[in-house]
Chain A
């Protein structure tokens, strides 16, 4: 199966700071998604971004499918952004539609 590497594994930010989270895939993927897992354990869909760039408020994401990576940008971070951010993708052409997740980036935003 594909390997999904996320970096950094942990990140501490001062409120108001910006950050970039990265997701690398070992193979070509479809259906790349970013999730935020909140303190209650819920997985919140952030972006469905197989390629290109999308923005939603203070968050934006870019996927460069040919180079097998995706980036999540958080600007002007707030304490409510704290939690774990996961990327996940579906291996292209495998006939399988399961999402393979990375280990996540744990973000802590301090006031």
Chain B
């Protein structure tokens, strides 16, 4: 079964701790993305990666870091520098061919709550 996996679904952390959210895909997609969703707002892009060992900042990258050591995996670390980390985090991927590149496939999301 092809798809994108994000785990866990719900995550709790104490303020000041770094936390890493996992995202794995077996769709053989080159591009992967991290979004954050807050109530009443659209998805906002944190980081994206179009190829292994390369990634770019999105609109709200401050306080976050990523790595892309493998094509299948794009973990996101929420650092203690992120001022308002409690949110719903969505990972997505897309192929790079010109026809379907526009359509992103999303994981189920991780709800992070910082106490």
Same complex origin of A and B = no
Seen from chain A, the residues whose Cβ lies within 8 Å of a Cβ on chain B are none
